[in-house]
Amino acid sequence: MVELYDKEKGGGLHPSDSFLHPEIFPTVWCPGCGIGTTAYTLFEAIKEAGILKKDMRIVSGIGCTGKIAECVRFKSYSITNGKVVDFAIQLKHKNPGLKVCVFLNNADILLSGAEQLIEAGKKSENLIVIFINNFIYAVSKDKAFPLTPFMRKSAGSEFELPFNIPGMAIYSGADFVARWTPMQAGWMKDSFLEAFSLTGLAVIEVISPCLIYEANSGRILDAVDRIKFYNDNSEIKFRAKGENLDIRLQKKIITGKFKIPEDID
Ligand code: SF4
């Protein structure tokens, strides 16, 4: 196994060593998973923006996405009671000088967090929400969410169909809304930088297909092909309207910046 962290030197073998706990290697994330790409892109944006680690906070929920809070070397919070956004809002209110970055997956939003996110948009809460959409809606092998009509592994064998979270964010009043795939990491970093400079709610969706889920069924492609599939089937359209971001209704996944405040346009 390649050593990514030099314990004697206290790090230094990977550009993101200073952001990650050495004991997390090998990471919980599968090679090629978009969560790792998103985390690395965020670290690059933090460095470029000159934000000190002491001024940064990560709040995350459950599942693979939720693991980010355990991995980073700055203060972070793992919230497993479904109130991830509420916790982040309280944290920000108590410490206005902090940059608070929230990682959510489908479970965190659709199971319990949609209302909190809509309220955060209405009140223009000063948060950066990174929504990792890996199209997984099941909370266990056999059970899907109680409230979402879109699921994998359902009793009726429905195909997974994603909910339009960026559209919801736009209509709830979020100040900055974007969507990218892991292959668009350069654009993603720009969006993180813009979100750092913003006063208000930024919601950035990352379409990050799970490389492992149902890998043996033959219904999905291998890691590289699967990422390529999502890249080939996405199209950048800036300022696309919220209703046009519904993946169920489009031939291609629309990515880009959809809501852009004038001062960062
Ligand atoms: S590829 Fe799937 S199982 Fe692996 S870390 Fe990513 S979301 Fe989790």
Look at residues 113, 94, 92 and name the one whose alpha carbon lies nearest to residue 104: 113
Distance CA 116, CA 83 (A): 8
pLDDT at 215 > cutoff 70: no
**Beta strand 56-60 pairing with 128-133:** unpaired
Of the two residues 263 and 239, the one the predictor is more confident about is 239
Q: What average pLDDT does the chain have?
A: 83
* Smallest CA separation from ligand 1 atom 4, residue: 30
In terms of pLDDT, which residue wins out, 252 or 17? 252
Cα–ligand 1 centroid distance for 209 (angstroms): 8
**CB distance 139 to ligand 1 below 6 Å:** no
Q: Which CATH class is domain 31-264?
A: alpha beta
Instruction: Report the nearest-CA residue for atom 7 of ligand 1.
Output: 210
Asked if residue 33 has its Cβ within 6 Å of ligand 1, the reply is yes
Closest residue to atom 6 of ligand 1, CA basis: 33
Each residue's pLDDT tens digit, 1-36: 444 445 555 555 677 778 988 787 777 888 778 999
Give alpha helix (H) positions in 83-197: 84-94, 106, 114-122, 165-172, 185-196
The pair of three-digit structure tokens given for residue 214, joined into one six-digit string: 């149902």
Q: Which single residue is written with the structure tokens 């000190």? A: 52
- Ligand 1 centroid from CA 44, angstroms: 22
Q: How far is the CA of 211 from the centre of ligand 1 (A)?
A: 6
Query: For the chain, what are the domain ranges?
Result: 31-264
Taking CA atoms only, the protein residue closest to ligand 1 atom 3 is: 212
| Tokens standing for residue 122 | 């209405």
CA 86 to chain centre: 17
**235 Cβ contact list (under 8 Å, min separation 6):** 252, 253, 254, 255
Assign 153 a pLDDT band (cuts: 50, 70, 90): very low
102 CB near ligand 1 (under 6 Å): no
What pLDDT is attached to residue 209? 78
For residues 198 and 217, the answer to whether their CB atoms sit within 8 Å is no
pLDDT at 43 (0 to 100): 95
Provide the pLDDT confidence category of residue 108 given band limits of 50, 70 and 90: confident
Measured CA to CA, the distance from residue 111 to residue 147 in angstroms comes to 7
CB 82 within 8 A of CB 111: yes
Q: Is the pLDDT of residue 219 over 50?
A: yes
Torsion of CA 76, 77, 82, 85, to 10 degrees: -50
Single-letter amino acid, residue 261 = P
Ligand 1 pocket, residue 56 CB under 6 Å:
no
Task: State how far Cα 88 lies from the chain centre.
Answer: 15
- The answer to whether 192 and 103 have CB atoms below 8 angstroms apart is no
- Read off the pLDDT of each residue in 61-71 and give the average, rounded to a whole number: 90
Does 220 sit in the ligand 1 pocket, CB within 6 Å? no
Q: Check pocket membership of 211 for ligand 1, CB cut-off 6 A.
A: yes
Alpha carbons 189 and 186: distance in angstroms, whole number:
5
Which of 17, 84, 34 shows the shortest CA–CA distance to 57? 84
Look at the chain and count its residues. 265
CA–CA dist 92, 52 (Å, integer): 16
Give 58 Cα–ligand 1 centroid separation in angstroms: 19
